[in-house]
Amino acid sequence: MTEQVDVLICGSGSAGLCAATWLARYGLRCKVLERREGPMTMGQADGVQCRTVEIFESFGLGDELLRESYHVLEVVFWADEDGSGRIRRTGRTADTQPGLSHQPHVILNQARINMLLIEAMRRFNGQEIDYGYTVQGVEVDSTKVKDPEAYPVTVTAEKAGRVERFEAKYVMACDGAHSTVRKVLGYNMVGDSTDAVWGVMDMVPRTDYPDIRKKSTIRSKAGNLLIIPREGDSDNLTRFYIELPAGTKAKDVRLEDLQQAAKKILSQYRIEFVETVWWSAYAIGQRHADCFHKDYRVFLAGDACHTHSPKAGQGMNVSLQDGYNMGWKLASVLKGLAPPSLLETYVLERQKVAIDLINFDRYFAKLFSSKGDASPQEFQEGFIKSGKYTAGLTAKYDESSITSDTEVSKELSTNVVVGMRLPSAQVVRFCDSKPLQLATTLKSDGRWRVIAFVGDLSIAQNKTRLDALGSYLSSSDSPLQTFRLEGGDADSLIEPIMVGYGPRHIVELEEIPSCFYPVTGKNQTRDIHKIFFDDESYNKGHGHVYEHLGISPERGAIIIVRPDQYVSTVLSLDDYRQIGQFFSGCLLPQAEPNSVPESKL
């Protein structure tokens, strides 16, 4: 018997789970096949970069993640500067430089990260994982790939000695570095490996090394060591990344070798290993797949299409963000909100990210290597300069149907880059004076945002611009109406948000166009939570969001933001009709023209 599914995901790692969470958020079911017999219990990855924390926040999972994790706030640098064999602290810095993100870099075991996503899937639509399946084959019927209603991909998988067949519209290969799907498709991993071998162990140290609960980089004659404190303050669980001597073979490494290497590097301090809960050794390799898709029906994600060293904490994060990029696009196509060509942007965007990752990892691995010629000061400077990348905030997506850059964009918002995630800063909500981060309004619920930075409304021209924009967004040919979901509220697919500048108390709600407080929800009440001001709050100071984004209060700007919080385009307030032109190029009309529902207010 053959089972038909819209989306089949091979593997329940970070990429697969994040894509499945998106699909569940849209109310779509998928099939997730996992080789293991149950959920991951002990993950190898643990670093959760700022961007990933932002993603969890957007799914409503941020509070749990932040509560359970270790927060990495400071990095200390140690080195043997004079060749005496003794190390000393040579510097310290913030782990995440100020202004990069409103969220911290945190540490939490990958098993718990995965479970947070699994629990979210269950809450959203009861989505579960099918365990104990080993994928054996994948075939794509090229004669059917242009038919949006067809199921052109056939996947065979074995469970308990029985082979089952699945037919899918789309398949995501999230089955790891040794991906069966990638191999069956005939794709290769291109790149190279070095002869450098590193060991890693999670253990409880008993030591008088003073910075054991801080992220530490130690460079010495005996080798290099990276210390990462783990979650849970009571037992001092800690991760050590240890550079092993030249000529070491990863397969020959024993736990005792890692312990002795660490003791040599920290020889001036006492250290005992009370308990070791996990350890491994690996040779550094940097590779990416030579193709990321098959007929835009099978897509590679995560370790199936990029592998690298773990020291920069990128693996789980970049993989998860592959799934985050793909999930909303698959859902948009399956629900008829966007054409299938939208899926081509996954390859355009994430293949470039993978190649950038490999190049960065080569640099970062060399920086850490004892063979490198960087001085302690140069190492520290290089580490700090890499901070934006390791925070996950450097991905820039190229021009496409959902990313449109212009020279005007650069002038209107000098600190906002089209194709990158929208930076956040504090704003004050107009309806209740609550201060909050702008990013918290951009929830991962499938909606696009049109954020109108309307400037200083005490300037008459800005008030005129706001009124004109409001009239357009409220009209029958507004994109809010053209693309509103069938039977949905005015903001069901495109949500308008207003951010004013200056004192909020000089403005009355009635002076603001009603499209920014539409009648919504089962009770059909006005949603007045979409209006904000760049103003002094009562208890948390001023966020200066206009300054942070480089927007002039005299001129303002319109920023269109994708469902994944990346900036699609920046427009002048006077060019508001380009909003409709933009969405006509990437979305499919949902409502009949001139079908504006009658308001109940």
- The catalytic residue positions are 46, 230, 241, 310
Q: Are 16 and 113 in contact (CB under 8 A)?
A: no
What are the counts of helices (DSSP H) followed by strands (DSSP E) for the chain? 15, 28
3-state SS assignment for residue 599:
coil
- DSSP string of 500-554, one letter each residue: EES-GGG--GGGS-GGGS-EETTTTEE---SEEEE-B-SSS-B--HHHHHTB-TT
571 conformational bin, left if phi > 0, alpha if psi -120 to 50, beta if neither:
beta
Q: Are 147 and 100 in contact (CB under 8 A)?
A: no
Radius of gyration of the chain (CA): 26
Cβ-Cβ contacts under 8 Å for 594 (sequence gap 6 or more): 476, 477
Q: Are 318 and 357 in contact (CB under 8 A)?
A: yes
C-alpha dihedral, 13 to 15 to 17 to 18, nearest 10°: 150
User: How far, in Å, CA of 6 to CA of 401, rounded?
Assistant: 24
Cβ-Cβ contacts under 8 Å for 373 (sequence gap 6 or more): none
**DSSP class of residue 109?**
-
- DSSP string of 562-578, one letter each residue: -TTSBEEEEE-GGGTHH
- Per the document, the length of the chain is 601
The pair of three-digit structure tokens given for residue 231, joined into one six-digit string:
């979650």
- DSSP string of 285-328, one letter each residue: EEEEES-SEETTTEEE-GGGTEE--STTS-HHHHHHHHHHHHHH
Query: What residues pair up with 203 in beta bridges, in sequence order?
Result: 238, 276
Cβ atoms within 10 A of the Cβ of 585, count?
A: 11
The dihedral built from the CA positions of residue 214, 216, 222 and 224, taken in this order, carries a sign that is: positive
Strand 557-561 relative to strand 525-526, pairing = unpaired
Q: Which of 395, 330, 350, 316 is nearest to 14 (CA)?
A: 316
Using alpha carbons, list the distances in angstroms from residue 98 to 548, 564, 599.
12, 23, 45
Q: Which of 76, 371, 88 is nearest to 227 (CA)?
A: 76
Cβ-Cβ contacts under 8 Å for 301 (sequence gap 6 or more): 15, 16, 19, 172, 173, 174, 319, 322, 323, 326, 350
